[in-house]
Amino acid sequence: MKPSSFNYHAPTRVEEATALLAEHGDGAKVLAGGQSLVPMLSLRLASFEHLVDLNKVEGLSAIERVNGHLRVGAIVRQAVAEHSADVAASVPLLSKALPHIGHFQIRNRGTVGGSIAHADPASELPAVALALDATIEAAGPGGTRKIAAADFFVSTWQTALADDEILSAVEFPVWGPGSGFAVEELTRRHGDFALAGAVVGVQVSGDTVTKATIGLFGVGPTPLRASAAEAALLSGADAAEAGKVAASHISPVDDIHASGAYRTQVTAVIVRRAIEAALKEARS
């Protein structure tokens, strides 16, 4: 379990990092917290001639309010975001999702941007970004562009980032009063990737649900939006009905931990539970 040899680059400016990526093309890989990449290198499941380490790049580790959004820099550690009062106040769903990632040692190193850029379909943060309609900021040699989360996750571990781009920040919308959020996931053990997971945000006015978002993870090749279930919820369906609608639109595959049929069946359950918890919070 020793990686094959690679050239290690530790740029300090975004332009330097993107120039290195442009120079080395798909022979280069961005290193952030290393919690997914390093094991893959050590198992020789992946090898790259060049690693471009973002950890020393300036300007990527801020958490700030910008234009009604919360902007989280690419290499903000998951543990920092988890314990940030700003995150808890502005984007509670992100706050609630973070403790589900691995173990605290992993979150001490892992980054918010790295998890989203890695685009593991069983991870929490890509589903949060998708559910909240976050905007991914991509920096390349020609400057930065913004990508809607809905367009960002292409397939398993594949994103809309070009070879010469880095994810430089993620902007999460801030919801108004009357909102509630919940994360429900089933894992074999504490800290494992989810067999099935759901992130839910709702906003209510009296008894009426005025806004609803449901993101699913671990049940498809990318994080999924349960749009039909959201629509059902907005049309007055209860949590159980919405859960069934969400489950009826997915076709997860089997692996050694659970069958696809299992994942489908429990998705209805966890979506229901997450909606109930989010509604409870919204109404409290």
Interface residues toward another protein, by CB under 8 A: 1-5, 39, 43-44, 186, 188-193, 195, 256-259, 261-262, 265-266, 269-270
DSSP string across 241-255 = HHHHHHHHT--PPP-
Measured from the CB atom, the residue of 4 and 12 that comes closer to another protein is: 4
The residue count for the chain: 284
CA–CA separation, 175 and 172 (whole Å): 9
Measured from the CB atom, the residue of 143 and 190 that comes closer to another protein is: 190
Whose CA is closest to 200, among 260, 261, 250, 267? 267
Q: What's the closest the beta carbon of residue 187 comes to another protein, in angstroms?
A: 9
Q: Where are the beta strands (DSSP E) in 67-195?
A: 69-73, 135-140, 143-148, 153-155, 158-159, 166-173, 179-186
217 membership: H or E segment, kind and range: strand 208-217
Q: What's the closest the beta carbon of residue 197 comes to another protein, in angstroms?
A: 12
Q: Where are the beta strands (DSSP E) in 44-127?
A: 50-53, 63-66, 69-73
Q: What's the closest the beta carbon of residue 46 comes to another protein, in angstroms?
A: 13
Q: What's the closest the beta carbon of residue 1 comes to another protein, in angstroms?
A: 4
Q: Hey, what are 250's tokens?
A: 């997915």
Measured from the CB atom, the residue of 43 and 62 that comes closer to another protein is: 43
Measured from the CB atom, the residue of 151 and 238 that comes closer to another protein is: 238
Q: What's the closest the beta carbon of residue 13 comes to another protein, in angstroms?
A: 31
Contacting residues for 242 by C-beta, under 8 A, at least 6 apart: 214, 226, 229, 230, 232, 233, 271, 272, 275
Measured from the CB atom, the residue of 43 and 148 that comes closer to another protein is: 43
Measured from the CB atom, the residue of 150 and 253 that comes closer to another protein is: 253
Residue with tokens 């349960």: 226
Measured from the CB atom, the residue of 101 and 167 that comes closer to another protein is: 101
Q: What's the closest the beta carbon of residue 123 comes to another protein, in angstroms?
A: 13
The amino acid sitting at 11 is P
Q: What's the closest the beta carbon of residue 210 comes to another protein, in angstroms?
A: 29
